[in-house]
């Protein structure tokens, strides 16, 4: 009875190291880890020990006989990953070697931000005996996007906060809330009091559409912040009085927003959605949410797992050519197959996934697609997050990241980055674990006088 990863998991790879037969891939040291939609269990190699289930922080792994109907497609999705055969290498996945500091007092590190990358960086740092971490968070509560980005109906994913609570309870960890670097404390003071500073401040802004009429339209990230009660976004007002809403872009954020706009409010009431958002959604007249993609179905930016989750929760209709252009493989081929296999929608609110529909402008009445006006009350752009400059650090406007070499900020002393401000807004919560580990290893190598990659 093989075990099965049952959704776009968090990719933190704890399961990889827990597995006694190295049957969960890609592992963090394999080249396709960075681009993988999720991790997959090889059904032919799984020995059914259940160690991965215990290790998974978000409850994404189940024995195959215990799958719910919504999870059943993942049995094949896991198996398909191994169709071409895969060299599992060593019997056990390669566990990174323990961190060591060569000499001197244990390191004292400041970490700015308290989202997933920050928490994983702290965890890695605290593996060094006697190390201390001071974490600075501008908001009154910690955990960043793990708290304010995950949709309220994704309760399992939110359970990653339990892992962060465990990290925060370790000796040597101190959390400073309501403390903004640049306002309450500056970089020089952080460096004075610590051996190094790690910025894990995420991508706090979003990319903007460069189209006529697009100035001032709402963004999906504002909407997500609103329904999750983010202190910066509670005062937004969204027009839910029209029967149609349009979301531009079709990544996982767009699907989250489309789902929240169409789910039965009674379902949302059982979650910890922000009360004001729930009230507004109860009064909503939105019947149809159109998710606009400028390219075709095989190029959808959402992951297969999130598409399956959407289709299990609400009616989904596809508008676009679903014929296979040939030559597709991996995630693109799977997405096309899943879209083509969607059943007929039932009654009630629906999400329309519309393809080959690049918007050309916005008017007060909706979205222009060439000559066509797609009427809508609410229009949200969902075309990706973007990092903001960090005071005193270099910044690449094009990528919205701080230029760095394996986490070391280029041209700066004892200063590092981790997470989205380091690599851009991509991946899942647990992807930040591998990213933060790389940064901390660079930092420790520098403390030890060994330049990584030199
Ligand atoms: P994303 O995955 O990068 O998707 C951006 C979308 O915007 C794409 O469809 C892209 O289309 C479109 N786009 C970009 N520029 C555009 C333009 N000028 N005009 C029209 N469309 C444009 O971004 P995201 O949805 O914000 O997600 C960010 C990251 O968070 C992703 O890694 C995502 O997987 C992750 N996330 C995961 C979950 C989850 O696992 N449940 C939930 C939320 C977010 P093109 O492809 O044509 O460029």
The answer to the question of residue 102 being in a domain is no
- Report percent pLDDT > 70 for the chain: 98
Residue identifier of the C-alpha nearest atom 30 of ligand 1: 426
Q: 132 and 154 share a domain?
A: yes
Asked if residue 256 has its Cβ within 6 Å of ligand 1, the reply is yes
Q: 340 and 374 share a domain?
A: yes
Q: What pLDDT score was predicted for residue 453?
A: 44
Asked if residue 297 has its Cβ within 6 Å of ligand 1, the reply is no
Asked if residue 116 has its Cβ within 6 Å of ligand 1, the reply is no
The answer to the question of residue 22 being in a domain is yes
Q: 215 and 188 share a domain?
A: no
C-beta separation of 377 from 384 below 8 A: no
The answer to the question of residue 327 being in a domain is no
Q: How far is the CA of 299 from the centre of ligand 1 (A)?
A: 11
pLDDT tens-digit readout, 356-379: 999 999 999 999 999 999 999 999
Residue of 34, 225, 252, 299 with the most ligand 1 atoms within 8 Å of its CB, for mutation? 252
pLDDT tens-digit readout, 425-450: 999 999 999 999 999 999 999 999 87
Asked if residue 367 has its Cβ within 6 Å of ligand 1, the reply is no
Q: What pLDDT score was predicted for residue 84?
A: 83
Residue where a domain stops, chosen among 341, 365, 384: 384
344 pLDDT more than 90: no
Q: What pLDDT score was predicted for residue 220?
A: 96
pTM, full prediction: 0.94
Residue identifier of the C-alpha nearest atom 18 of ligand 1: 209
**Which range is least confidently modeled, 6-20, 128-142, 289-303, 370-384?**
6-20
> In whole angstroms, what is the distance from residue 205 CA to residue 384 CA?
9
Asked if residue 142 has its Cβ within 6 Å of ligand 1, the reply is no
The answer to the question of residue 193 being in a domain is yes
CA angle 170, 176, 181 (to 5 degrees): 130
15 burial type by CB count under 10 A (0-12 exposed, 13-18 middle, 19+ buried): buried
Q: What pLDDT score was predicted for residue 454?
A: 40
Residue identifier of the C-alpha nearest atom 11 of ligand 1: 249
pLDDT tens-digit readout, 146-174: 999 999 999 999 999 999 999 999 999 99
419 pLDDT more than 90: yes
Q: 340 and 219 share a domain?
A: yes
Asked if residue 77 has its Cβ within 6 Å of ligand 1, the reply is no
Confidence of residue 246 (pLDDT cuts 50, 70, 90): very high
Average pLDDT, the chain: 94
The string of DSSP codes covering 379-410 is: EEE-S-EE--PPTTS--BTTTTB--EETTEET
The answer to the question of residue 87 being in a domain is no
Asked if residue 306 has its Cβ within 6 Å of ligand 1, the reply is yes
Residue identifier of the C-alpha nearest atom 38 of ligand 1: 252
320 pLDDT more than 90: no
Q: 344 and 356 share a domain?
A: yes
Q: What is the CATH number of the domain that holds 431?
A: 3.40.50.720
Q: 220 and 310 share a domain?
A: yes
Residue identifier of the C-alpha nearest atom 8 of ligand 1: 249
Strand partners, 199: 112, 417
Residue of 358, 384, 429 with the most ligand 1 atoms within 8 Å of its CB, for mutation? 384
Asked if residue 202 has its Cβ within 6 Å of ligand 1, the reply is no
The answer to the question of residue 246 being in a domain is yes
Q: What pLDDT score was predicted for residue 94?
A: 75
Domain count of the chain? 3
Residues in the chain: 454
Residue identifier of the C-alpha nearest atom 12 of ligand 1: 249
Quick one: how many helices (H) and strands (E) in the chain? Answer: 16, 22
Q: 212 and 192 share a domain?
A: no
Residue of 202, 253, 435 with the most ligand 1 atoms within 8 Å of its CB, for mutation? 253
C-beta separation of 253 from 227 below 8 A: no
The answer to the question of residue 43 being in a domain is yes
Residue of 8, 117, 249, 353 with the most ligand 1 atoms within 8 Å of its CB, for mutation? 249
Asked if residue 156 has its Cβ within 6 Å of ligand 1, the reply is no
Q: 178 and 246 share a domain?
A: no
Q: 232 and 277 share a domain?
A: yes
- Report percent pLDDT > 90 for the chain: 86
Asked if residue 60 has its Cβ within 6 Å of ligand 1, the reply is no
Confidence of residue 245 (pLDDT cuts 50, 70, 90): very high
> In whole angstroms, what is the distance from residue 96 CA to residue 430 CA?
16
Structural domain harbouring 62: 3-80
Q: 261 and 167 share a domain?
A: no
Q: 217 and 361 share a domain?
A: yes
How many Cα neighbours within 13 Å face the side chain of 413?
6
The answer to the question of residue 94 being in a domain is no
Once rounded to an integer, what is the mean pLDDT over residues 187-207?
Answer: 96
C-beta separation of 379 from 213 below 8 A: no
Which has more confidence, 32 or 91? 32
Q: 400 and 375 share a domain?
A: no
Q: What is the CATH number of the domain that holds 357?
A: 3.50.50.60
Asked if residue 254 has its Cβ within 6 Å of ligand 1, the reply is yes
Atom of ligand 1 nearest to the CA of 8: 40
- Using alpha carbons, list the distances in angstroms from residue 350 to 270, 313, 315, 342, 381: 21, 10, 5, 13, 19
Asked if residue 250 has its Cβ within 6 Å of ligand 1, the reply is yes
> In whole angstroms, what is the distance from residue 301 CA to residue 200 CA?
25
Q: What is the CATH number of the domain that holds 68?
A: 3.30.70.20
Q: What pLDDT score was predicted for residue 451?
A: 59
């Amino acid at each position: 009875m093989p075990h099965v990863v049952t959704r776009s998991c968090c990719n933190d790879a704890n399961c990889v190291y827990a597995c006694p037969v190295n049957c969960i891939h890609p592992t963090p040291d394999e080249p396709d880890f960075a681009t993988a939609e999720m991790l997959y269990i090889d059904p032919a190699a799984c020995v059914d020990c259940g160690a991965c289930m215990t290790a998974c922080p978000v409850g994404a792994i189940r024995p195959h006989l215990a799958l719910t109907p919504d999870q059943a497609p993942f049995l094949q999705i896991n198996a398909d990953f191994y169709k071409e055969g895969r060299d599992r290498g060593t019997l056990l996945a390669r566990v990174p070697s323990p961190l060591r500091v060569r000499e001197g007092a244990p390191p004292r590190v400041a970490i700015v931000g308290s989202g997933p990358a920050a928490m994983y960086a702290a965890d890695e740092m605290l593996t060094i005996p006697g190390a201390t971490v001071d974490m600075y968070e501008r908001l009154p509560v910690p955990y960043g996007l793990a708290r304010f980005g995950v949709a309220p109906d994704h309760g399992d994913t939110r359970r990653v906060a339990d892992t962060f609570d465990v990290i925060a309870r370790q000796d040597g960890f101190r959390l400073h809330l309501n403390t903004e670097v640049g306002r309450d404390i500056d970089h020089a003071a952080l460096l004075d009091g610590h051996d190094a500073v790690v910025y894990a401040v995420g991508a706090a802004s979003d990319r903007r559409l460069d189209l006529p009429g697009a100035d001032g339209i709402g963004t999906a990230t504002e909407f997500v912040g609103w329904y999750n009660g983010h202190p910066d976004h509670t005062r937004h007002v969204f027009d839910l009085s029209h029967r149609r809403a349009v979301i531009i872009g079709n990544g996982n954020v767009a699907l989250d927003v489309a789902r929240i706009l169409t789910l039965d409010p009674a379902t949302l009431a059982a979650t910890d959605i922000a009360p004001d958002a729930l009230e507004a959604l109860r009064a909503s007249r939105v019947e149809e949410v159109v998710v606009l993609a400028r390219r075709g179905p095989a190029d959808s930016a959402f992951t297969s797992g999130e598409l399956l989750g959407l289709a299990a929760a609400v009616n989904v209709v596809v508008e676009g050519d679903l014929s296979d252009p040939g030559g597709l493989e991996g995630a693109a081929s799977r997405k096309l197959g899943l879209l083509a296999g969607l059943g007929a929608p039932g009654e009630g609110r629906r999400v329309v996934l519309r393809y080959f529909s690049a918007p050309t402008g916005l008017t007060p009445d909706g979205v222009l697609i060439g000559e066509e006006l797609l009427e809508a009350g609410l229009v949200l752009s969902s075309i990706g997050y973007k990092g903001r400059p960090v005071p005193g650090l270099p910044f690449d406007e094009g990528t919205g990241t701080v230029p760095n070499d394996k986490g070391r900020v280029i041209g700066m002393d004892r200063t590092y980055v981790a997470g989205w401000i380091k690599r851009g807004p991509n991946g899942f919560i647990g992807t930040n674990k591998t990213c933060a580990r790389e940064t901390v290893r660079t930092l420790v190598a520098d403390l030890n006088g060994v330049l990584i990659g030199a």
